[in-house]
Amino acid sequence: YSEYAMRILQWLTFSARPLSVEEMAEVVAIDVACDPAFDRDEVLEDPLEVLNICSSLVTITTNKPDGSGRPGQRIIALAHYSVQEYLVSDRIKQGQAKQFSMQEVECHNALTKGSLMYLLQFQQPLSNKVLKAFALARYAAQFWSSHLRNTRDNTEELSRIAVDLLSIGHPAYHNWIQLRDPAQRRVSTVARILLEEDADVNAQGGHYGNALQAASVGDHEQVVEVLLGKGANVNAQGNENHIFEFRESGSCSALYAASAEGHKQVVRMLLDKGADANAQGGRHGNALQAASTGGHKQVVEMLLDKGANVNAQGVQYSNALQAASYDGQEQVIKTLLD
């Protein structure tokens, strides 16, 4: 039970709000050293078993009913503030309980990783009814970013896991939004959340490589605007073989991604922020060829206006004209020849 006890005491000491016994029954099933970190089989069948695990160190109180007809919530807490003081003090390091010695940054790191990996367990969008069966889900969705801020020097691993969650194509992302802001449940919510949280907008990882890539592919103009305003690198390359993995390969820029999809307004925003119209990358080699192949005439015009080289060599085709010709894009061909 010592590992269970350590997790319980960590979460009680550094949680952002009081936790219910049902939430704590799931906390003991999170092992951040494993992947996946959350093991449903390890959840305590009887949440009150936490009393046996931590004995005199914790207490349980019952909140008053909220008027909905449901019984009051059972809240678990450290028995006394002196317990928390002892756990983070130097004194504990000298005694028999030294294995329970806690460092604030390390514990926030564990709570951040635990919350993120808990949310990433969901491999498909779930209904609110189903999500309610996961007691810790709302806490994890609401407070992982608060714990992340308290890690101070965010580790590369935490940034990568956070980007996984923030990848708009990931099912866990949709569940997070639903839990984080159930009244709205839309992508634009991310723009507001990113303004609230101290997230690393240039962190690499996830399905699309970085947050700007994900927003550009999805044509989420508000999110692109916020990311650029928060200092996202407009010319950052996505991870190898992660962009459009069902049809693209190789790293490419957000401009390439938006051009390939024909997202005119996003392309304009990226170009206005200084995106390199001649950047190399992606299956077609550059944004102009990607837009030409897709028949996105207005995007082609914008790229040319920003100095895209009409004769630049690509990968699949020798130049943009050949790319447009192969796919029969007559309007694009006329634009390229003008």
pLDDT in tens, 283-306: 888 999 999 988 999 999 999 999
User: CA–CA separation, 38 vs 126, rounded Å?
Assistant: 17
- Give yes or no for residue 274 having a pLDDT over 80: yes
Residue type, 329: Q
CATH topology of domain 201-338: 1.25.40
User: CA–CA separation, 205 vs 218, rounded Å?
Assistant: 17
**216: pLDDT confidence band, cut at 50, 70 and 90?**
confident
pLDDT score, position 161: 86
**242: pLDDT confidence band, cut at 50, 70 and 90?**
very low
CATH topology of domain 1-102: Arc Repressor Mutant, subunit A (1.10.10)
Helix (H, G, I), strand (E, B) or coil at 312: coil
- Give yes or no for residue 182 having a pLDDT over 60: no
Task: Give the tens place of pLDDT for each residue, 68-109.
Answer: 556 678 999 999 988 888 787 877 777 777 777 888 889 999
- Give yes or no for residue 195 having a pLDDT over 60: no
User: CA–CA separation, 102 vs 55, rounded Å?
Assistant: 19
Average pLDDT score over residue span 230-253: 64
Average pLDDT score over residue span 304-322: 87
Task: Determine the distance from the C-alpha atom of residue 264 to the mean position of all C-alpha atoms in its chain, rounded to a whole number.
Answer: 26
User: CA–CA separation, 129 vs 305, rounded Å?
Assistant: 51
Which residues are bridge partners to 77 per DSSP?
A: 59
Sequence spans of domains, the chain: 1-102, 103-181, 201-338
